[in-house]
Amino acid sequence: MALSTLVKKYMKLIKKQIPLAIVFIFGVLTLASYYVPHKISVNYIEMMNKWENIVAAFAFLLGLFSLFFSHYHKISRKVDGWGYSIFVFVGFLAMVIPAFMSEGKQSTPAGATLLGWAFRYIYNALSATMFAVLAFYIVSTAYRSFRIKSLQAFVLFVAAFLLILGKVPLGQIIWDSVLGWTGAGVDQVIEWVMSVPAVAGKRGIMIGISIGAIVTSFKIIFGIERQYMGKD
């Protein structure tokens, strides 16, 4: 009985108290470093950044193994869409083999290496394609938001419509012919929308976010928020 109590206490120390103490000490030290410009403080922050990079490097390997195992299982079990998993390995080899062959260099005085070629004609091309798709999604999402379902959607529609109107010459002509008598140009209206209501809304959100971030940090530093460690 006494032994089990001792083991429980030991486990609590290992699983709860020590991690919480580490979080508290390093949280307070990092917070204090904002106010302390001393060399010790600067060195401490540099050391923490190095540690973060080291942990990230090992974690990346972990992620890579997780990815490969997951897709290997999909292929070996022939689950739905297993063919796509082959492309994970194909894509990986398509970049890694040229990287080894070119000793990690993208270009030499003689010109682009195989890695440079793969980077330019495979990786960059695919990334650019994906980014370009965004334009089509913006159109479809704009269409959805222009279906006015609520007052907020109406406000969004009016602001977006004004911006579109002001950015195209045809819109400016329409504005001048219909609302030219008001004396206010569409560009002035846009400038007001962008610099008054838009900035006010943005700042409101930013203030809320900043205070929320401070409070969340306190919750973690002082051990109030400990969901990441599980319950007691």
| 220 lies in the site for other proteins, by CB under 8 A | yes
Please report how close the Cβ of residue 45 comes to other proteins at its closest, in angstroms. Answer: 12
Contact 219, 225 (CB under 8 A): yes
Please tell me the count of residues contacting other proteins according to CB under 8 A: 62
| 107 lies in the site for other proteins, by CB under 8 A | no
| 1 lies in the site for other proteins, by CB under 8 A | no
| 76 lies in the site for other proteins, by CB under 8 A | no
| 156 lies in the site for other proteins, by CB under 8 A | yes
| 181 lies in the site for other proteins, by CB under 8 A | no
- Candidate residues 10, 26, 51, 60; the one interacting with other proteins per rule CB under 8 A: 60
Count Cβ neighbours within 10 Å for each residue of 22-58 and write b for 16 or more, e otherwise: ebeeebeeeeebeeeeeeebeebeeeeeeeeeeeeee
- Candidate residues 55, 184, 199, 200; the one interacting with other proteins per rule CB under 8 A: 55
- The CA distances from residue 118 to 150, 193, 220, in Å, are 49, 45, 44
- Candidate residues 1, 90, 130, 178; the one interacting with other proteins per rule CB under 8 A: 130
- Candidate residues 6, 13, 56, 125; the one interacting with other proteins per rule CB under 8 A: 56
Separation between Cα atoms, residue 40 and residue 26, nearest integer Å: 14
Closest CA to 73 of 81, 147, 63, 228: 81
Contact 171, 186 (CB under 8 A): yes
Enumerate residues 6+ apart whose C-beta is below 8 A from 147: 153
Residues lying near other proteins in the complex (CB under 8 A) are found at 31, 34-40, 42, 52, 55-56, 59-64, 66-67, 70, 73, 80-81, 84, 126-127, 130-131, 133-134, 137-138, 140-142, 144-145, 156, 202, 205-209, 211-220, 222, 224-225, 227-228, 230-231
